[in-house]
Structure 1
């Protein structure tokens, strides 16, 4: 494989990263198309199926926090290929589900799509330097393409083969990530490389070290802290500009993705029309993420985070007032523009607010925050619908929580200004 960055191999690997993002987000959105059938066939409530679907994101991203350790031990290539295989098996288990617990088990395995994505996004700096921001914009388009394409494919498969057949075919599609993973480097850079022998020594030969070092527990805790990038959580800029917005991004996006089709159906639209409404949001995501390099010529990443959170919140509120087919498509387009920009800029924010050697862990913590928000949204949004019989309150809560991004960024900026002023005085 060619060495260096920003070369032909880099762009080939970027296509693999984009496919992984496409597959992950598209699979979650595809399950939202299947939600009404799953609810009926498994004889359960909306929030139970919705929160189970959110497990794909929550469990996968939480597990992704440990992916840095496994990448150092087994290499990115092995991690990507193994994750793709487990996710494919998970979709097969979902297709055989006869009860909510069986579906949940399959969805937990499917969540390894998120582990795969965490690994791939984390190694992007290994391939790009000058064109890093452009690379982020391109692989982030996978989100929009997944929202546009896979739900439509899922709907067609549902009509032809039923939900079980649709999931089996989706399993075959996800299996393609296994050979794609073979294109990734078999190692990572020397700056972050940790030898396999050294890792095994730390884990399995700790008893020999006790006699030499009585502070072993403290050392082990320190090693664990470094292995998951915990020091990042001690920095206010990283918390206010990455972690909290990441949680909000997950809560908003997953709540919209899982329940938007059901929301449209509850307002008199057909499932196909609801899928098209969701696809309009995907178009907005693709458009804004293609435009990210251009937007950066005029605005900073923080300005884009502020603006995108406001656009997203307004569009979610308008959804509850204008429920016609045409209006929902237009509003969904603007929602896609807002949420797509918000998600894309978070990756830029993670790079800006962390050291180069910490980039992999910064991505993992974004995904942990995203996954935490998604599982909460999956439960709360669906539960409120089951209780009230309407999505109005749920979607207004999504809008209100989205605006908390501006509050988090504002608090971080105010604290930063005060800290700078105090430093000047001292």
Structure 2
């Protein structure tokens, strides 16, 4: 058990992380509300506008190996604050765009890089405070993401009606500047004892030890902080060690397959309903139902995992199996009731990513989370770009989304099955450790 898990300040960290993810990633999932205005303003095809809208999420993941070393050097607070400034700047400059090329730079690259910084910072901020209950924490911040997505969609729709899309995205940028405030609460564990943000600091005087990759920190009752420097390996040396770890390779593979598949129902479910003759307004409710189900399902699944002490990796496998089966079989129940049932399932079982991050911290150790997660983000970005593209090709070939959803379901099931490699890999690694000790 991490000593930070016994501190009440962990709930401040969890609240700040939930608000940060809601303001950073949430709007990137809701920007589709502005697509009709962008198509009309820039007189551009819908496929190019969709590409611009997906850039922040893709860029936030693809820059993982870049923001990982930055986080190690400057810390979670500094990177979270700078990320919030970049998101605000990108959105504010986007309201001045006269063509899609400018929007690609401001909205896609600038804001996307900021989203990546904030996402990595809030995920790493949980490391010192949640390990045994990491699945619960990821479920809570997942609910924050869903809430941010739903509220951002409603806000953008209303603001664009009164102030046009330019005014709407400018106001959204100002709101996202609050990320800087929330990031200030990402206080490292070794500094929390006497930090002014810790209102319980008088009660946190028990002896405990913790460490980072730079320094070993020791707290002793009624004594000052003792700092013991330790040798730090370079980011690339640590990364090389990770890539030689079979457990990390398994995690990367399962995570990549997840992001190849999971965006397909998010991106194509509403359009699938419309092509089947469903009223456009009714079809739009599929996204809302999915978001509401996520707000409910993510914290429930995370809480159950922690309460029954289920390993988060097995929870991930079960989650993927249920979601994959439902998506694969969805063409057999393709009326509006079946589509709403699928939307509920996709939303309720959307905590797979939270389980994956929790699994990374548990299997590889909190000290390796930053390096591992930064590389996983890179492959997530590739998966985000690849999955909907393949689904689109399947639709063009078959003129139906049935095979697109079968593809998504099959990939999710494959990621679930690959999780069982954990058993032989751990046995093999255990045998090697025994041989080395001899």
Question: Does the alignment reach a TM-score above 0.5?
Answer: yes
Match of 1:344 among 331, 346, 354: 354
Match of 1:313 among 306, 310, 324: 324
Equivalent position of 1:35 in the other structure: 35
Residues 293-329 of structure 1: per-residue CA shift (max 9 Å, x gap):
3234174333322221122223323444544444322
Match of 2:275 among 260, 263, 266: 266
CA contact (8 A) 1:76 1:188 kept: no
In the TM superposition, residue 387 of structure 1 has moved relative to its aligned partner by 6.6
In the TM superposition, residue 179 of structure 1 has moved relative to its aligned partner by 2.0
What is the rounded CA distance, in whole Å, between the counterparts of 1:98 and 1:34 in structure 2? 15
> What is the DSSP-based 3-state SS (H/G/I as helix, E as strand, rest coil) of the residue aligned with 1:367?
helix
In the TM superposition, residue 102 of structure 1 has moved relative to its aligned partner by 2.3
When structure 1 is superposed on structure 2, of 165-174 and 317-326 the one drifting more is 317-326
Equivalent position of 1:354 in the other structure: 364
Between the two structures, name the one with larger relative contact order (CA 8 Å, sep ≥ 6). Answer: 1
Equivalent position of 1:277 in the other structure: 286
Residues 259-291 of structure 1: per-residue CA shift (max 9 Å, x gap):
433333333345543342112222332333222
- Determine whether 1:108 maps to 2:109: yes
Show structure 1 runs of 5+ residues with no match.
Answer: 196-221
> What is the DSSP-based 3-state SS (H/G/I as helix, E as strand, rest coil) of the residue aligned with 1:304?
helix
Match of 2:315 among 285, 292, 304: 304
Match of 1:247 among 256, 279, 283: 256
What is the rounded CA distance, in whole Å, between the counterparts of 1:239 and 1:147 in structure 2? 31
- Determine whether 1:151 maps to 2:157: no
> What is the DSSP-based 3-state SS (H/G/I as helix, E as strand, rest coil) of the residue aligned with 2:277?
coil
In the TM superposition, residue 79 of structure 1 has moved relative to its aligned partner by 1.1
CA contact (8 A) 2:255 2:380 kept: yes
Residues 170-203 of structure 1: per-residue CA shift (max 9 Å, x gap):
22221211222222227978833549xxxxxxxx
Equivalent position of 1:118 in the other structure: 120
What are the equivalent positions in structure 2 for 1:194-213 lying under 5 Å apart? Answer: 194=214
| Matched residue count | 396
What is the rounded CA distance, in whole Å, between the counterparts of 2:118 and 2:305 in structure 1? 29
* Distance of aligned partners of 1:353 and 1:419 in 2 relative to their CA distance in 1, 3 Å threshold: closer
What are the equivalent positions in structure 2 for 1:156-171 lying under 5 Å apart? Answer: 156-171=158-173
What is the rounded CA distance, in whole Å, between the counterparts of 2:74 and 2:189 in structure 1? 8
* Distance of aligned partners of 1:10 and 1:138 in 2 relative to their CA distance in 1, 3 Å threshold: same
CA contact (8 A) 2:84 2:177 kept: yes
In the TM superposition, residue 11 of structure 1 has moved relative to its aligned partner by 1.4
CA contact (8 A) 1:86 1:110 kept: yes
User: What TM-score comes out, normalization by structure 2 length?
Assistant: 0.78
> What is the DSSP-based 3-state SS (H/G/I as helix, E as strand, rest coil) of the residue aligned with 1:127?
coil
CA contact (8 A) 2:24 2:87 kept: no
CA contact (8 A) 1:96 1:164 kept: yes
Equivalent position of 1:410 in the other structure: 420
In the TM superposition, residue 118 of structure 1 has moved relative to its aligned partner by 0.6
Equivalent position of 1:218 in the other structure: none
* Distance of aligned partners of 1:415 and 1:47 in 2 relative to their CA distance in 1, 3 Å threshold: farther
Equivalent position of 1:289 in the other structure: 298
Residues 66-102 of structure 1: per-residue CA shift (max 9 Å, x gap):
3332234333222111111111222233334443322
Equivalent position of 1:201 in the other structure: none
> What is the DSSP-based 3-state SS (H/G/I as helix, E as strand, rest coil) of the residue aligned with 1:184?
coil
User: What TM-score comes out, normalization by structure 1 length?
Assistant: 0.80
Bigger proportion of residues as helix: 1
Equivalent position of 2:178 in the other structure: 176
What is the rounded CA distance, in whole Å, between the counterparts of 1:413 and 1:230 in structure 2? 23
